[in-house]
A = this chain, B = another copy of it.
Amino acid sequence: MSTQNLLLVLDLVGILAFAVDGALTAIRTARVDIVGVLSLGLVTAIGGGVIRDVLLGVTPATFQDWRYITTALVGGTLAFFLSRQLTHLSRPILLFDAAGLSLFAVIGATKAQEMGFGPLQAVLLGAITGVGGGTVRDVLLNRVPTVLSANSHLYAIPAMLGAAFVVLANVAGFGTGLVAVVGALVCFTVRILALRYRWNAPLPPGAPPL
């Protein structure tokens, strides 16, 4: 499989994971009908990529290729019909979310770097691609976004680590295919460990402990 195809497959897997995540979060958090479920699945799935492309100054890729939207709608529909089985379990939501976060962080960083943006911006744009869709979902659901919450057990940090891994590997001359897979595993592993062992980032000095 060529690198471009591998990146497309990873992108679509990330979209599917985030669509399920967004749809289940919507069902769990608010009183939404099928339109709300599919909309929030779609927004979670393509929001990060749209924000990334707008910040990169290019036409959002997710609207130019029908496979993106279709994948997101399939994920949302699956979540709609399986919601009774899935929504009472918080673990599947967290796993789908960690998968989407990891894949989007490395794809965002890779795309930014390919377009000539510097390393700092590429890491930041990777992280924004990872957290963007979920942040828009939380804003629409009237919740403070996960990325800003002090007891979210690291969310942007794993995304930045995964993005930094691919940025450094690309600077060092490695190709983008395998590097993206390893970078996503770095992000995913750190995120899951942080959830498992309840790691949190430092609070401002003087803030009362959790």
Contact = CB atoms under 8 A, between A and B. Distances in A.
Interface of A: 26-27, 30-37, 39-40, 50, 54-60, 63-64, 66, 69-70, 80-81, 83-84, 117-118, 120-121, 124-125, 135, 139-145, 147-151, 154-157, 200-207
A60, A135, A148: residue with the most chain B Cβ atoms closer than 10 Å: A148
A56 B58 CA distance: 10
A157 B50 contact: no
B69 A148 contact: no
B148 A40 contact: yes
Nearest to A143: B142
A203 B33 contact: yes
B139 A36 contact: no
> Can you tell how many copies of this chain the complex includes?
3
A39 B147 contact: yes
B142 A204 contact: no
A117 B64 contact: yes
B204 A147 contact: no
5 contacts: A34-B201, A35-B154, A35-B156, A54-B54, A66-B120
Given A141-B144, A142-B143, A148-B39, A83 B205 contact: yes
Contacts of A155: 35
B69 A124 contact: yes
Nearest to A157: B35
